[in-house]
């Protein structure tokens, strides 16, 4: 039985990160079913309860030290842990966990990480220094590999987002939630559009454009508009701001939801418009077409991996272009077939992350 410690942005109420943890745990146990897993979490009690594993607090120094001392492998990931667009402190925190593991003689793996953006020279130097000592690196996209190559880190394998390895959720779970919000039943034949928004810095220009498009889709196409929050309560707050700008009253789900509920909800739409990366990933995993609005290279990179382009950004969003694309996909997904095929390929590739991790265990 192997002891594995996982370090990442877990226990902070973000649905995408919680789904990622669930996917990593499941993928590892698919390869080694008796693996003993300890997660470093912002809410260790909740993480332990939800995922049936052991957890220690993010700043529980002695707990982390003991966990790593007893580990056979330390995993850093997945997600965008090494970037300084939102926080410098977090990047140094995750690097310090890797550093502690190496000081204790433990193998370290970067697991399906999204690297960057890295703007500051000091951050780049720190990342370059630490990653020269890790034992294996998989990244979720080619942009991340390019970021590392630019730092002089070349032994990097491109896989896919860890969440894509998840098993599909039962659609009835999400359907039951939507029924409680008085959403139209499936038998009605009414098209449903899911929306996953987030606030980002001072980028608010997109709000009115998106509100106008959603209003048109409801009034002209009789589409049901449902906002699905990925991070509670921040996303719900942003959704309500956009809803207030619309000419009709959309449905705004409150949350928070479990990973399984979130995944199922993302499959109970005919189309997902997403700013949140894992809203796009969830709906893709559930076999639904997606339209991405980019605020970060990770959105663009994922869309490129499924052979799609961002429809716009949070600073430049053409309402007519977005409306036309929505109507096209609501009427037929024929033009989207290549993307559906790519998702199936990426799901298989994503499982490589866990296989890579277990291979490191066998080497040590």
103 and 246 share one domain = no
pLDDT of residue 207: 97
Helices (H), 32-115: 44-51, 61-69, 88-103
> CB under 8 Å to 250, separation ≥6 — which residues?
195, 214, 218, 225, 226, 227, 243
pLDDT of residue 355: 96
85 and 141 share one domain = yes
Domain assignment present for residue 234? The answer is: yes
199 and 227 share one domain = yes
In this prediction the pTM is: 0.88
194 and 305 share one domain = yes
Domain assignment present for residue 60? The answer is: yes
Domain assignment present for residue 351? The answer is: no
| pLDDT 10s digits, 296-325 | 989 999 999 999 999 999 999 999 999 999
Structure-model confidence comparison of residues 335 and 219, the more confident one: 219
Residue with tokens 């001072």: 202
Which band of pLDDT confidence, cut at 50, 70 and 90, is reported for residue 167? Answer: confident
| pLDDT 10s digits, 78-90 | 999 999 988 899 9
Query: Is the alpha carbon torsion for 274, 182, 259, 14 positive or negative?
Result: positive
111 and 186 share one domain = no
Domain assignment present for residue 48? The answer is: yes
CATH number, domain with residue 27: 3.40.50.11930
Query: Is the alpha carbon torsion for 78, 84, 87, 91 positive or negative?
Result: positive
11 and 141 share one domain = yes
Closest CA to 306 of 260, 354, 274: 274
Two tokens, residue 86:
């939102």
Provide the domain limits for residue 143: 3-158
104 and 231 share one domain = no
pLDDT of residue 152: 97
Is the previous residue joined to 349 through a cis bond, with omega within 30 degrees of 0? no
How many structural domains comprise the chain?
A: 2
Domain assignment present for residue 358? The answer is: no
| pLDDT 10s digits, 85-135 | 888 999 999 999 999 999 999 999 999 999 999 999 999 999 999 999 999
CA distance 251 to 225: 6
> CB under 8 Å to 185, separation ≥6 — which residues?
179
135 and 222 share one domain = no
Domain assignment present for residue 360? The answer is: no
CATH number, domain with residue 192: 3.40.50.2000
CA distance 278 to 266: 10
């Amino acid at each position: 039985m192997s002891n594995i410690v996982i370090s990442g942005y877990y226990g902070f109420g973000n649905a995408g990160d919680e789904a990622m943890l669930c996917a990593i745990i499941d993928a590892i146990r698919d390869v080694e079913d008796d693996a003993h897993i300890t997660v470093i979490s912002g809410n260790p009690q909740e993480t332990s309860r939800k995922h049936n594993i052991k957890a220690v607090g993010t700043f529980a120094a002695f707990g982390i030290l003991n966990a790593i001392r007893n580990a056979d492998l330390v995993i850093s990931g997945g997600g965008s842990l090494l970037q300084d667009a939102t926080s410098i402190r977090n990047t140094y925190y995750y690097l310090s966990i890797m550093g502690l593991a190496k000081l204790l003689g433990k193998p370290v793996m970067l697991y399906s990480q999204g690297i960057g953006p890295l703007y500051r020279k000091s951050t780049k130097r720190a990342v370059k220094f630490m990653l020269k000592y890790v034992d294996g690196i998989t990244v979720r996209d080619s942009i991340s590999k390019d970021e590392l190559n630019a730092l002089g880190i070349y032994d990097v394998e491109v896989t896919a987002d860890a969440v894509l390895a998840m098993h599909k959720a039962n659609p009835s779970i999400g359907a039951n939630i939507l029924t409680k919000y008085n959403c139209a039943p499936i038998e009605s034949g009414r098209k449903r559009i899911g929306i996953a928004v987030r606030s980002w810095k001072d980028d608010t220009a997109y709000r009115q454009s998106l509100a106008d498009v959603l209003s048109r889709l409801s009034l002209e196409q009789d589409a049901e508009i449902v906002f699905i929050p990925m991070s509670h309560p921040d996303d719900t707050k942003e959704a309500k701001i956009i809803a207030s700008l619309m000419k009709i009253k959309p449905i705004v789900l409150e949350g928070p939801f479990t990973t399984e509920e979130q995944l199922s909800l993302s499959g109970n739409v005919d189309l997902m418009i997403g700013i949140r990366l894992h809203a796009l990933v969830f709906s893709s995993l559930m076999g639904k077409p997606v339209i991405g609005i980019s605020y970060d290279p990770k959105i663009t990179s994922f869309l490129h991996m499924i052979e799609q382009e961002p429809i716009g950004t949070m600073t430049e969003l053409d309402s007519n272009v977005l409306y036309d694309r929505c109507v096209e996909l609501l009427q037929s997904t024929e033009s989207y077939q290549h993307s559906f095929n790519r998702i199936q390929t990426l799901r298989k590739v994503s499982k490589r992350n866990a296989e890579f991790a277990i291979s490191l265990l066998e080497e040590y």
